[in-house]
Structure formats: C-alpha cells, structure tokens
A = this chain, B = another copy of it.
C-alpha cells in the first residue's frame, strides 16, 4: 500500500513551490487534484508542465460547488459522500498518490477532508506558502509589525460579526470574498477601515491585480483576498 502525500503548491506562481513539493511532484506516479467538473482546476493549472509524462492523473471532481447553499443539508451530504469515496480510493491505491493543494494544505484546504478520513500513518503533508502571503507580498507592504494582532476572517460571516472583528484587530486578512464583497465593504466602512483596505486578485499569478478595495465595484472571484496592514511598533 502506498502513502498519500499532499503537497502545498503555494499561492499560484509555480516558482514559489517548495523544493520538497517540487521533488515529490517530479517523482509522482499518480497525481490527484480537486476541480470543479468541466474546469481545468487551479491546482492542476499551477503544475502545468511539471507532472511527469508517465504519471496517471486522477481529477477529483466536486459533486457540487456553488449550486446549493453551503448550509443546505444536501450540500454537506453530497460532499461527505464525495470525500468518503475519494479517501477510500486513495487508501486503496497500490502506489503513492501525490495530492495537489493550492496554498497550504492545513489552512482552509480541501485536502483536510480526505486527511480526516485516512489512517494518520498513511498520510504526509508538505506545507506551502499560503495564498494570503502571496497577496500581502503583492501589496509591497508588511502585514504585521511588532506586537500587531492579525485576524483572518472568511467574508461569509454575518455582517455585524465582520464589523466587530474588523474593528478589533491591527492587521486583517479576509478570505472567501466573491459575492460577499458588498457586505465586506459595508463592514469595513462601519469599522472605519475601508480606506486602509486592499483587494488582491490572482496574487503571484499572471494578471495579478492590487487595488484599493473602496475603488472596486464589480464582482470579484471567490479566491480574491482583502488585506488591511498592521501599523505596529517600528524602530
């Protein structure tokens, strides 16, 4: 029986993959990755040209992404069955399977739903540079100084909770934005931080954009990240 080795690919630029992730990928016989059905998939796109020609590819296609609200019980049930199925397939593989994961696998990554279903001793995880790090680096400014507190929030939280937490931190990262942008904008404004907020799309990838959040109107992709920099102690 093989191992299941999940490699964090980092924020998107393949050059920001770790040496270990790169070497693991170069030696892979089976490569698995999540994607939305009918789409190439972000993780697979990052490693384009880096997978050995002899490797087998196992695309793991989500049965549902945004078609059902995530708090609908049907959403959880379909995803649970999907993760059960793939955990069983990975565990049953005769050889090592390398699972691709954008960013850092243990930081809001989908891999952890497989990890929770696999025997601990069969799994290895290679950390990666989180997407948020690629985004704050893209802004050209440090995210935290001295004794700054950093809060990482999903934009899916209720508006009053977003507002309260935005007002109560030094540095801020907001994930999972997409259609939640208008609510996030109101929360930032109510907390008095709107003018300090940046919006980063496709951080470290081709077409990267860094804009003031207050100036962004239109819809943005789900993986867009908002950043408010800390202003802590600095000699």
Q: Which residues of B contact A142 (CB under 8 A)?
A: 105-107, 109, 112, 115
Q: Which residues of B contact A77 (CB under 8 A)?
A: 235
- Total interface residues on A, using CB and 8 Å? 64
Pair A147/B143 contact, Cβ less than 8 Å: no
Pair A80/B127 contact, Cβ less than 8 Å: no
| Per-residue B-contact encoding for A121-162, CB less than 8 Å = 1, 0 else | 000011111100110110011111111111111101100000
Pair A15/B20 contact, Cβ less than 8 Å: yes
**Which residues of A from 95 to 129 have beta carbons under 8 Å from B?**
104-109, 112-113, 115-116, 120, 125-129
Pair B18/A129 contact, Cβ less than 8 Å: yes
A75 to B, closest residue via Cβ: B235
Pair A144/B152 contact, Cβ less than 8 Å: yes
Pair B157/A147 contact, Cβ less than 8 Å: yes
Pair A16/B18 contact, Cβ less than 8 Å: yes
Q: Which 10 A-B pairs have the closest CB atoms?
A: A79-B235, A112-B142, A150-B152, A106-B142, A80-B235, A127-B137, A76-B235, A15-B20, A147-B154, A127-B133
